[in-house]
Structure 1
Amino acid sequence: MARTTTMTVRLSGTLSDFVSANVGEDGSYENVSEYIRDLIRRDKERAEAEAFNRLKAELAHAFAAPDETYKPLTAAEVIARNRG
């Protein structure tokens, strides 16, 4: 079952005005909670995309290495290396 957390956020000035402009009849969101959930989802997607791109860059770097730099290893050698 999904856990629900209630949070209180205080905004003032231009941040409050900006949120108000995006919520209600004239905004894109029905209420502030919907707006905040959407912002969090987008931030989560951004963080996941950044992590994926870092992994892709590491793999691209590894696969770009010359074949002679590769060393054949057995599964047992890999396991031993990762334990140490």
Structure 2
Amino acid sequence: MSNPMTLNVRVSGPLSDFVADNVGADGAYENVSEYVRDLIRRDKERVEAERFSRLKAELHAAFSAPEDSYRPLTADDVILRRAAV
């Protein structure tokens, strides 16, 4: 696991008000750090879900293709094809 990171973020105006509404006695989070960690976790989950969805779509397309469209590939073919993306 990597070392802890300290972030300094400045928010003002409506963003500051929004954060303040979500932190403290009336908010869902005890402090700003807890809120930011939750936002980062949710964004990480969103990115992972998008990647998984793309993978499922690629696999669906690959397995839906007619068998006669398959051709043998070497590891080098796959690496070259991926590098072109």
If the TM-score is normalised by the length of the shorter chain, which range does it land in? 0.7 to 0.9
**Structure 1 residues without counterparts, runs of 5 or longer:** none
| Counterpart for residue 75 of structure 2 | 79
Cα shift at 1:78 = 1.5
Cα shift at 1:22 = 0.3
Q: Deviations over 1:33-54 (max 9, x none)?
A: 0000000000000000000100
Runs of 4+ with deviation above 2 angstroms: 79-84
Q: Counterparts in 2 of 1:42-53, with a 5 A limit?
A: 42-53=42-53
| Counterpart for residue 22 of structure 2 | 22
Cα shift at 1:80 = 4.1
**Structure 2 residues without counterparts, runs of 5 or longer:** 81-85
Cα shift at 1:79 = 2.5
| Counterpart for residue 64 of structure 1 | 64
| Counterpart for residue 54 of structure 1 | 54
**Structure 1 residue 5 corresponds to structure 2 residue 9:** no
Larger Rg belongs to = 1
What is the alpha-carbon distance in structure 2 between the residues aligned to residue 27 and residue 21 of structure 1?
Answer: 6
> RMSD of the TM alignment (CA)?
1.6
Count residues with an aligned counterpart. Answer: 80
